[in-house]
Amino acid sequence: MASFKPAYIDTVADGAIKEKIRDAFEILEACVLCPRLCGVNRLSGETGVCKTGKNAAVSSFNPHFGEESPLVGTHGSGTIFFTRCNLLCIFCQNYDISHEGYGNEVSAEQIAGMMLMLQRSGCHNINFVTPSHVIPQILAAVEIAARKGLCVPLVYNTGGYDRPEILKLLDGVFDIYMPDFKFWDPEIAKAACDAEDYPEVARDAIIEMHRQVGDLIIDESGLACRGLLIRHLVLPQGLAGTRDIMRFIASELSPDTYINIMPQYRPCGRASEIKALAGFPSRTEYENALKIAKEEGITRLDSEKRVFAIC
């Protein structure tokens, strides 16, 4: 494979990112960045569902070794965890970050500094966790970091609740999209995150992501450099709608879509408010989810977990 060059390098070099940054910050004047369509003026300090104003907030940044193997490699994925969220699942495993706002406001210059520090530490990519509500701030940081030597792939690590119109601003910036596809049933989505439209939104968003970057490309060293990677968390009692989701991916995207079917659900946050989410999925439910994916034609599954842990 020829030497890989991240998409944003040219987008910054030719100045196209400046228009993206301008357009993204203009949206904050009556914010419709995400499907919540709050319409608040975040530039003047108003906040909507995500409780985030003009500046992004970050809870932590570090090399992370718990991600998928094509992201982790030998030196880890350079994760930047943004505070708050636009989806707010009641069972979130990072409830203190997404719901309670643990973290500190940062400038674009500070985010750029984090990116460069992670690259210097050897991280194979920069992995923006929960980025949907802070896209303008990320774009501004990418321009700064790229002009100072950033040269690793960028990962958009999202819950999947993204507007395709906004994702188009990221075309030519992000190399890897890593959305969750959480629920197929609107009623489950309504109960779990007050987002009845989540299944439709996620389908449209993931189609746009795939249009931009295609199937996941992994280089000779086993590292992802471009493409789509979808995560699907197995929920108790089949609440995630695994078969319908896998069928959609295989038929509407590609059977070669790289998918991580994850067994690590645990009832965090306010999960007990929904009786079925108060427990853990069984080993059988996880194994059945893997079987379903294969039955529906999926050919690329992340390494199946040998040990079933419910910690």
Across the range 164-188, mean pLDDT stands at: 98
Domain that includes residue 158, residue range: 7-301
Q: Give CA–CA dist 156/139, Å, rounded.
A: 12
Examine residue 244 and state whether it is found in any structural domain, yes or no.
yes
Q: Give CA–CA dist 192/164, Å, rounded.
A: 22
Examine residue 307 and state whether it is found in any structural domain, yes or no.
no
Q: Give CA–CA dist 41/32, Å, rounded.
A: 10
pLDDT of residue 35: 98
Q: What is the pLDDT of residues 227-246, one digit of tens each?
A: 999 999 999 999 999 999 99
Give every CB contact of residue 67 below 8 A, 6+ residues apart in sequence: 77, 79, 127
Task: Check whether 306 has a pLDDT greater than 60.
Answer: no
Examine residue 309 and state whether it is found in any structural domain, yes or no.
no
Examine residue 310 and state whether it is found in any structural domain, yes or no.
no
Q: Number of structural domains, the chain?
A: 1
Q: Which residues pair with 79 in a beta bridge?
A: 62, 127
Q: What is the pLDDT of residues 202-213, one digit of tens each?
A: 999 999 999 999
Q: What is the 3-state secondary structure (H, E, C) of 128-165?
A: EECCHHHHHHHHHHHHHHHHCCCCCCEEEEECCCCCHH
Across the range 122-146, mean pLDDT stands at: 98
Q: What is the pLDDT of residues 110-126, one digit of tens each?
A: 999 999 999 999 999 99
Examine residue 184 and state whether it is found in any structural domain, yes or no.
yes
Give every CB contact of residue 288 below 8 A, 6+ residues apart in sequence: none
Examine residue 2 and state whether it is found in any structural domain, yes or no.
no
Give every CB contact of residue 162 below 8 A, 6+ residues apart in sequence: 34, 35, 132, 179, 201, 205
CB contact at 8 A, 154 and 125: yes
What Rg value do the Cα atoms of the chain yield, rounded? 18
Examine residue 33 and state whether it is found in any structural domain, yes or no.
yes
Task: Check whether 226 has a pLDDT greater than 50.
Answer: yes
| Residue 181: φ, ψ to 5° | -125, 100
Query: pTM to 2 decimals?
Result: 0.96
Report residue 304's pLDDT band, with 50, 70 and 90 as the boundaries: low
Q: Give CA–CA dist 163/203, Å, rounded.
A: 10
Examine residue 122 and state whether it is found in any structural domain, yes or no.
yes
Of the candidates 251, 117, 276, 256, the residue with the CA atom closest to the CA atom of residue 183: 276
CATH of the domain at 37: 3.20.20.70
Q: What is the pLDDT of residues 56-98, one digit of tens each?
A: 999 999 999 999 999 999 999 999 999 999 999 999 999 999 9
Q: Is 127 helix (H, G, I), strand (E, B) or coil?
A: strand
